[in-house]
Amino acid sequence: MVGIAKRMRKLQSLLTIRMGLGAATLAPEVKRIHLAFAPKLSDGHLGARQFWRKILPRLKFRNPTIPMTVDQTLPQTDASTLTLHYSSIPTNLASSPPAFTTTTSIPVSRMPKSPSSQISAQPSEAQEEEFTHTIPLKHRTIEDIYDEFAAVSGAKEVEPTEEDLTLSRMLKETALRSERDRRKVAEVVATRKAEEARLKAARGSIA
């Protein structure tokens, strides 16, 4: 029984990542995601922490090549944020893009290996353009945060497979049976204790 219970927990953990809010593929233009919030839940950081615990694992599972970093050391009074980095403006946002910040940087492959090294490429060739968009998270619910994130990331929900749905139903049925069994055991134990108490009381009255 212990082995079965352990296997069920593993299956439930897998389904939690494969299904639900955040089980989506992102636009190919998304290069990186960075989440920043304070260590405590007060001052409006609850939604950001929930996004980290529930949404980010599903996004990473569906988009394993996209770096996703988290900073949990912000001052408590600072605003929690979710920043998306793009190689270019996603095609689905080209007609009505949100507020982007544009920066240029030297690609790692072109960086000098030592202070005395020189970059052989021309400046226009050595620099690459990057777009960023920051979503404010403070005092927002996880659903509200994800709605905006999905809109600016080109997120496409991944429908659960028939196998996932079947496994989900099986786990729910197993959980219900386990709960019924626990209640029956609790009733048996309570009945036994009540009988023992009555026997003890009867023996005491005879003595």
**DSSP annotation string for the chain:** -HHHHHHHHHHHHHHHHHSSTT-EEPPTTEEEEEEE--SSSTTTTHHHHHIIIIIHHHHHHH-TTS-EEEE----TTSPPEEEEEESS--GGGSSS----EEEEE--GGGS-SSTT----S-HHHH-EEEEEEEEE-TT--HHHHHHHHHHHHT-EEPPPPHHHHHHHHHHHHHHHHHHHHHHHHHHHHHHHHHHHHHHHHHHHHH-
Chain position carrying tokens 């023992």: 196
What is the token pair recorded at 74? 């912000």
Q: What is the pLDDT of residue 103?
A: 64
Looking at domain 20-111+122-157, its CATH superfamily turns out to be: Glutaredoxin (3.40.30.10)
pLDDT of 65 reads 96
* Sign of the dihedral defined by the CA atoms of residues 78, 50, 142, 102, in that order: positive
Q: What are the domain boundaries of the chain? A: 20-111+122-157, 160-207
In the chain the first and final C-alpha atoms are separated, in Å, by 45
Q: What distance lies between CA 106 and its chain's CA centroid?
A: 31
What is the amino acid identity at position 100? F
pTM, to two decimals: 0.67
CA distance 9 to 120: 55
Q: Per residue of the chain (207 residues), give pLDDT as tens.
A: 556 666 666 666 667 788 889 999 999 999 999 999 999 988 899 999 999 999 999 999 999 999 999 999 999 999 999 999 999 877 777 656 566 676 655 444 444 444 433 333 344 455 567 889 999 999 999 999 999 999 999 999 998 888 877 776 776 776 677 777 677 787 778 788 877 777 877 777 665
1: which residues sit within 8 A by CB, 6+ positions away? none
State residue 90 phi and psi, 5-degree precision: -55, 140
Instruction: State the sign of the Cα–Cα–Cα–Cα dihedral 192, 193, 194, 195.
Output: positive
